Each structure stands twice: as structure tokens, then as C-alpha cells.
Amino acid sequence: MVDTARHFQPLHLLLQTLDAMEMNKLNVFHWHIVDDQAFPFESTTFPDLSKKGAYNPTMVYSKADVDHLLEYARLRGIRVLVEFDSPGHTQSWGPGEPSGSLLTRCFDKEGKEHGHGPIDPTVESNYDFIKKLFTEVSHRFPDQYLHLGGDEVSFDCWKSNPNITAFMTAHRMAGNYSQLESLYIQKVLDIVSGLQKSYIVWQEVLDNKAALKPDTVVHVWIQDTWQKEIARATASGYRTLLSAPWYLDWVSWGQDWVRYYETDPLGFNGTEAQKALVLGGEACLWAEYVDGSNLISKSWPRASAIAERLWSSSTHKKASEARGRFHGQFCRMQRLGIRGGPIDGPGFCLCDGAL
């Protein structure tokens, strides 16, 4: 997963990421394309979303850019899973949404308006906007899955808005903001189902007891509790995707690839039937502190450890036995133009002198 909203990532580096993925048998590129900070996706249906939501007019992925990336990935056997996270993480959507009613208006204790919060789930026209946007997205991205997000939704703004509290009272859910979130998620799932697409949501949607469809994929990301979370999700019959142990942006001193390699994605308390519901895992590179200057070096070859872990039997779990392979893979990637960062302390590749 690469985040292109916290910092804009140049297209040529996304293509180089796909090259590196191919070298390491990573076969799904999860594109976290927009977020609160920026909307760099050029929508043909709503062009103002990127015109008013991107950092800069030059920092936008045009239709030609997206088509090129999709074909580049296809030729390398890589699926592209795009994410449009909502109802939170949508501040950049607001300026370019035509009606101006997409985001919730927030109020302070004195009743004065101060900014905006998540998407307002009580405004019916917002679902018309979502349907039109996701109809375009579903046509432009051929993968069967859309990632719908759903994480880190703060209820504070919803609580401050008198129209929302009145709506909740009228619909017999007063004070139950998880139920309000569930209402939103359910409507979005219905929209996506109608587009003949499948969907993935972050784990908070399940945690907040939203009513999920049986075919929902739950994406587990919270580090401290992932074993309990994945056990709970699979016990409820949901297929899961795991990224909690593999956050590449969390760089620690030393050989952190060892921790990535020795994490067992099936190392939770569950039955074999539950473990069969784990679809796979994901290396995540969030971009609060990642831009074009360090995208490749933070990813590689550290992601190689995750790739081997996910493609290997659980019996292959000793980093000491993998160390030589990783060094060899690092040097091969260097020779092929992937300028990763050293993973094992002092040492060398024969091509170092030419870098």
C-alpha cells in the first residue's frame, strides 16, 4: 500500500514501486489515493475534486496517468486495489463537491460554526454524489474490489451538529453514533454492491458494530491488538486482510526487517476454518513522512521480508536463515535500478561503487 495524499508521490516512482513488487512477487498494489490532506485523483465526473482538493494543479494523477499505471501493473501481473476512504478522511473532498453539503458542519459549545467533520450521513444527496463518484471509479479500476476505508471516524463533529442529533432522535438512534456510522456504511455497501463490486473496510467498521454484509473483507491494522481482532473477525465469518505487523513507515534503528519476517500472520487463537479466511497480508507505507525523496528507500528491501513471509510456509520463519537471501535480493534490486536502503548494517554490494 502506498499513500499518495499525505505527500504526492511522483508517477515514475509509483511505476518503480510496481517494478520492485514484481521482483518480489507482491501482486496487489493498494493505492490509498486520496485523504484529508489532498485529492490528487482527476475525476472526469467531478473535475473540481482535484482542481480544488489537490495540493497543486501539477500534483494530480490524470486519467492518462491512472490508465498508464493500471496497464503497467497488469503487464507485471499486479492488481490495483484503489481506496476512497470515507466517511472520515474526507476533508479534501469538500471544496470540490458540487452541493457544498458533503461534510458535516461542526459547532462549538456556544453554537458557533467552526470547520467541518466527516461526511454528513443524514443528507440524502450525499449518497447520490457517492454513487456517481464510485460508478466512475468502478469503471476506471477493473479490479473486483474497492477499498471503502471506514477507519478513524471521529464522532465529535456529528455530536455537535443539531441537524444530526435531530435526525438521530427521529430515527430512534439518539446518542448511538456507531449506529449512525453503520447507517452510512450500509448505504455505501449497497451502492458498491449495485455496481457489481466487492469491498474491503478497515477494522473499525466491525469494531463499531456496523451491519456488514457477509462477503465484506475486514482489513486489520491496529498493531497492539491484531491477534484478537483477526480472531474475532474470522470467528464472525468474515474474510480478513492483515497489515498490522507490517508498517514500513515505522522505521526503527537496526534490522527491523527481522520482526517483519518472524511475524506469523496465522499466529492467532483460531480454528483452521478461521485461518482459512485470512486472504493475505499487506505492507503499508503511509506518507506523513514519506515523499519522492525516500519512497523507494523506506520500502525496499524491507518489504522483501514481508513478501517472503506471505508466500512461505510457516516453517520458514527464522530470519537468520533468510539473511543471505535478503542480501542477495537487495543487491539484485540495486543492479536493476531499485535504490533501496541497507538492511543489515555494515556490508556492501558489488555494484555499490557505481551508485
For residue 80, give the H/E element and its range: strand 79-83
When computed from its CA atoms, the radius of gyration of the chain, rounded to whole angstroms, is 21
**Residue 114 corresponds to which amino acid?**
H
What Å distances lie between residue 332 and 285, 303, 339, CA to CA?
A: 22, 15, 10
152 belongs to the catalytic site? yes
For residue 107, give the H/E element and its range: strand 103-107
Query: What DSSP string describes 37-48?
Result: S---B--SS-TH
Nearest to 295 by CA among 19, 70, 60: 19
User: Among residues 71, 113, 152, 321, which one is catalytic?
Assistant: 152
Nearest to 277 by CA among 235, 311, 315, 220: 235
Contact 147, 163 (CB under 8 A): no
Q: Cell for 174? A: 439518539
What Å distances lie between residue 240 and 79, 92, 113, 304, 307, CA to CA?
A: 18, 29, 40, 22, 18
Q: What phi and psi values does residue 271 have, to the nearest 5 degrees?
A: -80, 170
Q: Cell for 45? A: 465526473
Q: Which residues contact 2 (CB under 8 A, 6 or more apart)?
A: 9, 14, 17, 29, 30, 31, 32, 285, 287, 295
Q: How far apart are CA 349 and CA 332, in angstroms?
A: 9
What secondary structure, in 3-state letters, does 215-272 show?
A: CCEEEECCHHHHHHHHHHHHHCCCEEEECCCCECCCCCCCCCHHHHHHCCCCCCCCCH
Task: List the catalytic residues.
Answer: 152
